[in-house]
Structure 1
Amino acid sequence: MNIDWSKAPKGATHYCPIRKTWLKQGGHCTWLSWSPFGRTHEEVLIGWTFCHPPEDESALIKEQWTGEGLPHIGAVCEVRRIAWGDTWSKVKVLCYGEKRAFFQNADGTEQSLRLDKIEFRHIRTPEQIAAEEREAKAKEMYLSVYFAVSEESWDHVPEAMRETFRKAIDAGWQQVAP
């Protein structure tokens, strides 16, 4: 089933084809259902209302996280603390509070971190990892050839020259200790 997410109400994280409604997974394992019309106690009802959790979550269609903003609850992604220069860690997002995000780490332990001190990214594919490693080796080769330059100078190297270093890496170049 192909869902047009441009028609989803703001905040929708799932579409339930069984109920034919938009859903939003809130914090603390709550679920909200979009009601575009209706009445409750003689008041017009338009918006998000609490609902029972879906019977079969595997039937739900999740909106894909674009990498912008916060990942959806239940999303598996990578996170790191900005100021500490931590390595990226694979996590499952459990919920968000006012100032913290709560995760389940790959080893099953749970953790929370301040939202203003972390950043998220998609889990990288093997191709992305290989491309990053290739680029790092090309930069290392450049720095070993032009040892008097700073690491920041790599950003200003012309693309043709960068590609030459990448091709040397592909051909098997390795730095050997003197």
Structure 2
Amino acid sequence: MYLHHICHVGKDEWKETHADPFGQHGFVYRPDCAQGAAWSGEGLPPAGTVCEVLNNTLDRPEWERCTILFMGKFKAIYESESCHERVVDVSESWIISFRPIRTPEQIAAEERREAILEMKGFLSFSDYREAERHCADLYDAGYRKVTP
């Protein structure tokens, strides 16, 4: 399969070419994000984007930081801490998911939400919202699960 792409030939020099992306040519795709447009999280991330990936084809899928090397309509190539280059199918949304790098505030909010849900699991309230409010109050007051 040959694809039309932009190839890096010098420091700031790019040229259009045709090459086999799965062959031995050692091509590099032009990072679309290098031109100042940050990926908003909508659609698929362009080549050059540093984001997080969740690959559901792995034994234990977890979100991990990655760099998008190639993004097509059906295939993507990314590199991450767990692999040098991985070719994935992006035509089915359940297989792979991408999201922007989370800010420390987003991470803290997610941890708070998970802790509140865990606390709520130990309570038996008939009013779901009341239980969540009480757990949120406890979490915000500094109460945390302690493992013996």
| Fold equivalence (TM over 0.5) | yes
What does the per-residue CA deviation read over 1:118-171, in whole Å, with 9 as the maximum and x for residues that have no partner?
A: 111011111111111111111111101239x9xxxxxx932x542331120122
**What CA RMSD, in Å, does the superposition of the two structures yield over aligned residues?**
3.3
Q: Corresponding residue for 2:128?
A: 157
Percent identity, aligned pairs only? 33
Q: Distance between the aligned counterparts of 1:100 and 1:138, measured in 2? A: 38
1:173 to 140, 143, 148: 143
1:78 to 19, 27, 52: 52
Provide the aligned length of Structure 1 versus Structure 2. 121
Matches for 1:87-166 after TM superposition, within 5 Å: 87-106=62-81, 109-115=84-90, 116=92, 117-146=95-124, 157-158=128-129, 161-166=131-136
Q: Distance between the aligned counterparts of 1:95 and 1:53, measured in 2? A: 15
The one-letter code matched in structure 1 to 2:100 is: H
Q: Corresponding residue for 1:61?
A: 35
Query: Which runs of no fewer than 5 residues in structure 2 stay unpaired?
Result: 16-30
Relative to the length of structure 2, the TM-score reads: 0.65
Please tell me whether the aligned partners of residues 27 and 97 of structure 1 are also in contact (alpha carbons under 8 angstroms).
no
Q: Distance between the aligned counterparts of 1:101 and 1:133, measured in 2? A: 30
Relative to the length of structure 1, the TM-score reads: 0.56
Deviation at 1:89, TM superposition (A): 1.1
Rate the CA distance shift 1:112–1:27 in 2: closer, same or farther, 3 A. Answer: farther
